[in-house]
C-alpha cells in the first residue's frame, strides 16, 4: 500500500447491512465487518486514504429514480443511514484524521454528482480499493466510473456483498473481465 491509494468503503450502513435494515444484504453484509476493518487499518497505517461514500435519500423524493425501485432507505438523520457495527466504531476512532472522511452521495456511483474525482486527483491517488455494499449496485457503478476515469481498481472479495449470490458472482466476474480490476480473495 502506498500514499497514492485509497480505500472506498461504500454504503456500509444499517439499512444495507443490519437484519432490520430497509434494503439489507443481511448476513452476507454482516460478515464483511472484520475484513473491512482489517483492510481499513492496513491502508490507514500505510499512509493511504480511507473514504466512506454514503448513500443519502429523502423519503418519497419524486425526482430520484430509486424511489420507484426500492423501499425508503438511508434517510437523512435516520438510524438506517448510520454506519453499521465495527465499521462505525472504526470510523468514530479515526474520523479526526484528515485521511479519513465520510461524505454524502445520492446516486449509485460514489463519483456521480460529487467532488470525489477532484479530491482523489489533488491527492495524486491513482489506485482505488473498493469495499462495501451492494457489490452489483453501488460498488459496481463506482467501479465503472473509476474505470472510465482511468483509476486502477482493486476489489477485495471478502469485503463486498450484495442481495443475491447470483448478483455477487456476476459483479465479481464483471470487475475482472470487463473493468480489468484486480480481484483479491
**Closest C-alpha to 16, from 55, 59, 57:** 55
Helices (H) and strands (E) in the chain, counts: 7, 6
Q: H or E element: which one contains 175? A: helix 165-177
Topology at the third CATH level for domain 5-184: Rossmann fold (3.40.50)
Report yes or no on whether pTM surpasses 0.75. yes
pLDDT tens digits, one per residue of 56-94: 877 877 776 776 776 677 789 999 999 999 999 999 999
pLDDT at position 2 is 60
pLDDT at position 64 is 65
pLDDT at position 62 is 72
**Closest C-alpha to 26, from 41, 12, 16:** 16
pLDDT tens digits, one per residue of 23-62: 899 999 999 999 999 999 999 999 999 999 999 877 877 7
Q: Calculate the average pLDDT of the chain.
A: 93
pLDDT at position 1 is 53
In the chain, the N- to C-terminal Cα span, in Å, equals 17
Residue 26 near residue 168 (C-beta atoms within 8 A): no
pLDDT at position 108 is 93
pLDDT tens digits, one per residue of 139-156: 999 999 999 999 999 999
- Find where cell 480489468 sits: 180
Indicate whether 184 pLDDT > 90. Answer: yes
56 to 80, 83, 139: CA distances (angstroms): 10, 12, 15
165 to 26, 28, 114, 170: CA distances (angstroms): 12, 9, 30, 9
pLDDT at position 68 is 76
Indicate whether 112 pLDDT > 90. Answer: yes
Measured in residues, the chain has a length of 185
Instruction: Return the SS3 of 165.
Output: helix
Residue 35 near residue 81 (C-beta atoms within 8 A): no
Cβ neighbours for 109, distance < 8 A, ≥ 6 positions apart: 138, 141, 142, 144, 145
Give 80's DSSP letter.
G
Amino acid at each position: 500500500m502506498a500514499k497514492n491509494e485509497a480505500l472506498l468503503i461504500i454504503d456500509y450502513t444499517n439499512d444495507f447491512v443490519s437484519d432490520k435494515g430497509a434494503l439489507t444484504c443481511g448476513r452476507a453484509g454482516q460478515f464483511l465487518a472484520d475484513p473491512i476493518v482489517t483492510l481499513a487499518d492496513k491502508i490507514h497505517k500505510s499512509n493511504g486514504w480511507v473514504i466512506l461514500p454514503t448513500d443519502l435519500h429523502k423519503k418519497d423524493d419524486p425526482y430520484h429514480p430509486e424511489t420507484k425501485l426500492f423501499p425508503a432507505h438511508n434517510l437523512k438523520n435516520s438510524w438506517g443511514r448510520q454506519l453499521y457495527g465495527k465499521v462505525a466504531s472504526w470510523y468514530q476512532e479515526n474520523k479526526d484524521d484528515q485521511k479519513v472522511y465520510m461524505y454524502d452521495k445520492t446516486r449509485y456511483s460514489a463519483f456521480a454528482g460529487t467532488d470525489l474525482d477532484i479530491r482523489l486527483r489533488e491527492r495524486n491517488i491513482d489506485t482505488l480499493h473498493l469495499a462495501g455494499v451492494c457489490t452489483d449496485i453501488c460498488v459496481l457503478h463506482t467501479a465503472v466510473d473509476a474505470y472510465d476515469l482511468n483509476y486502477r481498481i482493486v476489489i477485495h472479495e471478502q469485503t463486498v456483498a450484495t442481495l443475491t449470490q447470483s448478483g455477487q458472482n456476476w459483479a465479481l466476474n464483471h470487475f475482472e473481465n470487463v473493468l480489468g480490476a484486480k480481484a483479491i480473495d
